[in-house]
Amino acid sequence: IFMNVFNVHVNRMPITGEVERIVYTPGKFLNAELDKASEHNERNGLVIRHSLGTIGCVQIAGLVARRIVSWTTAGSHLTVGDRFGMIRFGSRLDVYLPAGTQPKVALGQTTIAGETILADLSAGTATAPVYHAA
């Protein structure tokens, strides 16, 4: 999810679950729209465990955004929509879903944090929507 300098950059939990692990990686400040930004830029990754699966959320600093803020810690149990961090200006948030998960959004679609459903994790009759997080 790429955010330009005019977007709000508060990051919200895409699903209810426990923050299993947080990994901060220092790096460069390339344009966040570039694919290589996921590997080379400063980033902060969260592993979130939900009863129906584990997802990843990575805050990625951009060309102008040179500050990632995280308000959560490993072991925290957060609810979908809870604020967990912020990235300053022109940044990006990647959400990694379990293999085989079908997205509910189209490439390039404008999404709204805490409202737009990105995907639906399903197990039997139970469902767990994964919401836009930034």
Cβ–Cβ under 8 Å, residues 128 and 98 = no
- Backbone dihedral region for residue 75 (phi beyond 0: left; psi -120 to 50: alpha; all else: beta): left
The candidate with the shortest Cα–Cα distance to 33, out of 78, 64, 77, is: 64
Which phi-psi region, left, alpha or beta, contains residue 33 (left: φ > 0; alpha: ψ -120 to 50)?
alpha
Q: Provide the edge-to-edge strand list for the sheet that holds 77-78.
A: 77-78, 17-25, 43-50, 53-60, 92-96
Single out the catalytic residue among 38, 51, 70, 91.
91
Q: Is 76 a catalytic residue?
A: no
Residue 37 host element (H or E): helix 37-40
Instruction: Give catalytic residues, as residue numbers.
Output: 91
